[in-house]
Amino acid sequence: MNRVLAIVMAGGAGERLLPLTNDQSKAAIRFAGKYRIIDFVLSNCINSGIRQIFVLTQYLSDSLNKHIQDGWGISGSRLGDHIYCVPAQQKAGADWYRGTADAIRQNLDLIKERNTDTILILSGDHIYKMDYLQMVAYHKMKKADLTLSVIRVRAEEAAGRLGVLEVDKKGKVIGFEEKPRRPKTIGDAPDCVLGSMGIYAFEASALREALQGSEDDFGKGTIPRAISRDRKIFAYDYEKENKIEDFVVEMRGGTRFKILLNRTNDSSYWKDIGTIDSYYEVNMELLGVDPPFNLYGEKWPFRAYERSLPPSKFVFGGRSPDSMVADGCIISGGVVWKSILSPGVVVEREASVEESIVLDDVSIEPGARIRRAIIDTGVRVKSGALIGYDLEADARKGCIISNKGIVVVPGGMVVGLD
């Protein structure tokens, strides 16, 4: 039986997501109202049958540690199941983690303590569905030292943002560039490149050998060096190989119907949420009738820690068409349209929220109006206040304006009239 250990990299500071990362790491940010971003990689692990998991943390990790402790308590030492948070501890000197490879190098003791064949190294800040054991099976079939999961991305989207691979006809990796400005495109798709998803399957012995160098990052040094030494490195085609036949249940005339979600092909969906605009757009995509990424499957459920809150309620004509509303919200005469509300949000009479993301415990008072905005945790929007209608006025109040005009209200802020 193949023994697989997963190591989740969750120490990213997420500078481009400020102010959402003012007091938490990128992996801890809310997504789709009730989840944290890290819940997706952890759910993928559990759904894949991988239950030995280390989460490497570093920056502003308190909320992430608490979330995993409260919501992911699968640890059982006798059974070998665990999800452990491992903070940066300066194990190899005075430095904190200098990069992805250095983070694993500083924690090789965790691997040596366990009898494992394959090490999965995963990013804690991506949104996707993936059966990792399918990738491990491909890795074993190829007798690879290292397998990288790849996805086809338009060249302009990958430029300066993703690692880009070059492969031969058998799928062997023959070239790798980390975030090139002018990436090499695919021969049969000249507008696209093979982008690295930051998902690696290493043989344990090959990982130890790869980390004998001094490189800090897998993409910038470790992987190119391994390619130059002609190691057995293969690309796993995520869109071609990843097959999750999920379904939802619909009610039609009292009869339960199971319908495939693969009509949306969401088992090949993958997003790296790196900026405020991408965070906003990926959340908004969820609100469609047939979204590109569906949260409602039965076979591939996404798990999360949920606060003990009562059901949401709508009183005095409050309503929320085309929206997602988490537990504990009260829509009291206000209107929420095409928006996502996290737990504990209150929208009072004659207030309106349009095309916005509202995070935990926000209070929106009577007559306030919000559109195309992200309202961070604990914000109070006072009666009659406007957000998203005058970007210059919003900036004067202390809000952050994204490149595409999304207004971000920092956590704990009180927003009043001009």
Please report, for the chain, the start and end positions of each structural domain, with discontinuous segments joined by +.
4-241, 313-415
pLDDT of residue 114: 75
Place of tokens 């090490």: 119
Residue 376: the pLDDT is 98
Residue 225 vs residues 164, 270, 298: alpha-carbon distances, Å: 15, 27, 42
Ordered DSSP codes for 172-225: BEEEEEES-SSPPPBTTBTTEEEEEEEEEEEEHHHHHHHTTS--S-IIIIIHHH
Give the residues across from 153 on adjacent strands. 193
> Between the CA atoms of 194, 195, 199 and 202, what dihedral angle is there, to the nearest 10 degrees?
50
Q: In angstroms, rounded to a whole number, what is the distance separating the alpha carbons of residues 348 and 100?
A: 46
Tens-digit pLDDT string for the chain (418 aa): 468 999 999 988 889 999 999 999 999 999 999 999 999 999 999 999 999 999 999 888 899 999 998 888 776 666 678 889 998 876 655 567 788 888 999 888 888 877 788 999 999 999 999 999 999 999 999 999 999 999 999 998 888 888 899 999 899 999 998 888 988 888 777 889 999 999 999 999 999 998 887 788 888 888 888 888 888 999 999 998 888 766 555 555 555 545 444 444 577 899 988 899 999 999 999 998 889 998 987 888 999 898 999 999 999 999 999 999 999 999 999 999 999 999 999 999 999 999 999 999 999 999 999 999 999 999 999 999 999 999 999 999 999 999 999 999 999 999 998 7
pLDDT of residue 196: 93
Question: Which amino acid makes up residue 280?
Answer: Y
Instruction: List residues bridging with 370 in a β-sheet.
Output: 353, 387
Check residue 263 and give its pLDDT: 44
Q: Give the SS3 label for residue 240.
A: helix
Report how far residue 47's alpha carbon sits from residue 68's, in angstroms, rounded to the nearest whole number: 17
Cα separation, 325 vs 313, in Å, equals 10
> Is 70 in contact with 155 (CB distance < 8 Å)?
no
Closest-CA residue to 270 (of 94, 125, 104): 125
Taking the CA atoms of 323, 123, 89 and 93 in sequence, report the sign of the dihedral they define: negative
Q: What is the pLDDT of residue 264?
A: 47
> What are the beta bridge partners of residue 173?
167
Contact 362, 346 (CB under 8 A): yes
- Domain 313-415 fold is UDP N-Acetylglucosamine Acyltransferase; domain 1 (2.160.10)
The pTM of this model reads 0.92
At 76 the pLDDT is 66
The partner residues of 81 in beta bridges, in order of sequence, read 76
**What pLDDT, on a 0 to 100 scale, did the predictor assign at position 75?**
66
What's the angle, vertex CA 179, arms to CA 41 and CA 241, rounded to 5? 45
What is the architecture of the domain spanning 4-241? Alpha-Beta Complex (3.90)
User: Taking the CA atoms of the chain, what radius of gyration do you get in angstroms?
Assistant: 22
Element (H, E) at 401: strand 400-401
The whole-angstrom separation of Cα 264 and Cα 150 is 20
CA angle 116, 77, 2 (to 5 degrees): 25
pLDDT the model gives residue 339: 98
Q: Are 86 and 38 in contact (CB under 8 A)?
A: no
Whole-angstrom distance, CA of residue 294 vs CA of residue 304? 16
Instruction: Assign 126 to helix, strand or coil.
Output: strand
Do the first three CATH levels of 4-241 and 313-415 match, i.e. the same topology? no
As a whole number of Å, the end-to-end CA separation of the chain is: 65
Sequence-distant (≥ 6) Cβ neighbours of residue 375 within 8 angstroms = 356, 357, 358, 359, 362, 364, 381, 387, 409
